[in-house]
Amino acid sequence: MSGNVLFPQMEIASEFEPQANVVLYHGLALDFLRTLPDASIQLVITSPPYNVGKEYEKSRSLDAYLAEQEPLLQEIRRVLKETGSLCWQVGNYVHRGEVFPLDVFYYPMIKRLGFKLRNRIVWHFGHGLHAKKRFSGRYETLLWFTVSDTYVFNLDDVRVPSKYPGKRHFKGPKKGLPSGNPKGKNPSDIWKLMQTEWETGLWDIPNVKANHPEKTAHPAQFPIELAERCVLALTHPDDWVLDPYAGAGTSLIAAIKQGRRAAGSEKEAKYVDITRKRLSAFWRGELKIRPLGKPVYQPTGKEKIARIPDEWKEQMSLFSDDAVKDRRK
Ligand SMILES: C[S@@+](CC[C@H](N)C(=O)[O-])C[C@H]1O[C@@H](n2cnc3c(N)ncnc32)[C@H](O)[C@@H]1O
């Protein structure tokens, strides 16, 4: 074993072995799932292909796409423990300008398998494509399901600072005592700005875009933080975390970082390679990771790109409140 002190280098097994710490299977998710024992996994966290024609997928009809996912979800149900969870992170499928929110389509399918929905988490991000014929999309969702009513939920491990920790009970037997929780408050089901958490109580996990420290060549990565929060809240140390659509290995890194075992499958050799390299960089202490809870950069207004271009000023003054009022006189 070598690597840094906190995270010693581990072997990456290429097939599932119960004694392994990390398994990375190069191949189809369904084939990999079929090799896993019943009730062996505590958390499945994944972002499946959205059927939007990314380089790793061929777009087909929504019905055909969903039908392909059903056997995989059945296998996921089989391999999950009774106390386990499924976190299914999706966005929209868009066809000829019409939006099909994938979580709406997945919900009945996953519910039919006996899962129970605990949260529909909105992951809000500040950047993305600018739409022309509809409002620009700035969130995706993460459906958190559990297998049963006896599920793991470590709320204390993911609490966030409360806005008014000094608040006290103003009546009753606890009058005068602090009313909040010294460990912080529940982070809510909207994951938005860490920086404004104090004001709004929301979490912000920036979308992984070009200037993000975690960006790789993968076109649809999610941030390590997103997976890490689910790992912390829904598993215990040494539990197995599985991502059947592993991509650039984000969920695997989150699991290892939090002392869990990680298993993933990925069909594209180049992403398997990226995952291996990211894991090695992580163990060497060289992987660039946005630290959990680090405030998202907020422009001060003084940066050049935050200033109104001179060419726009005259045009904008035509629409100012005063100009509109003057025209009404
Ligand atoms: C949305 S991306 C996941 C990205 C990942 N969450 C990350 O942060 O890197 C979906 C991934 O699933 C892979 N994939 C698609 N169909 C697959 C299949 N049947 N079996 C295994 N991997 C598949 C794609 O190559 C792609 O890397």
pLDDT of residue 292: 63
The tens digit of pLDDT for each residue in 77-97 reads 999 999 999 999 999 999 999
Ranked by mean pLDDT, the top range of 139-143, 161-165, 304-308 is: 139-143
Tell me which fold the domain 12-328 belongs to.
Rossmann fold (3.40.50)
pLDDT over threshold 50, residue 66: yes
pLDDT of residue 19: 95
Report helix, strand or coil for 116: strand
pLDDT of residue 50: 83
The tens digit of pLDDT for each residue in 131-161 reads 999 999 989 999 999 999 999 999 999 998 8
Give, for ligand 1, the residue of 59, 69, 250, 266 to mutate: max count of ligand atoms closer than 8 Å to Cβ.
266
Ligand 1 site residues, Cβ closer than 6 angstroms: 28-29, 47, 49, 56-57, 218, 220-222, 245, 247-248, 250, 265-268, 271
The tens digit of pLDDT for each residue in 195-213 reads 333 334 444 556 666 566 7
User: Range with the lowest mean pLDDT among 20-29, 160-169, 219-228, 292-301?
Assistant: 292-301
Residues 6 or more apart in contact with residue 187 via CB below 8 angstroms: 158, 159, 160, 201, 203, 229
pLDDT over threshold 60, residue 252: yes
277 band by pLDDT with thresholds 50, 70 and 90: very high
Q: Which residue has the CA at smallest separation from atom 12 of ligand 1?
A: 245
Own/partner pairs for 2-9, CB < 8 Å, 24+ apart? 2/283, 3/283, 3/284, 3/285, 4/283, 4/284, 4/285, 6/285, 7/256, 7/257, 7/282, 7/283, 7/285, 8/283, 9/280, 9/283, 9/284
Work out the average pLDDT over 294-312: 64
pLDDT of residue 291: 66
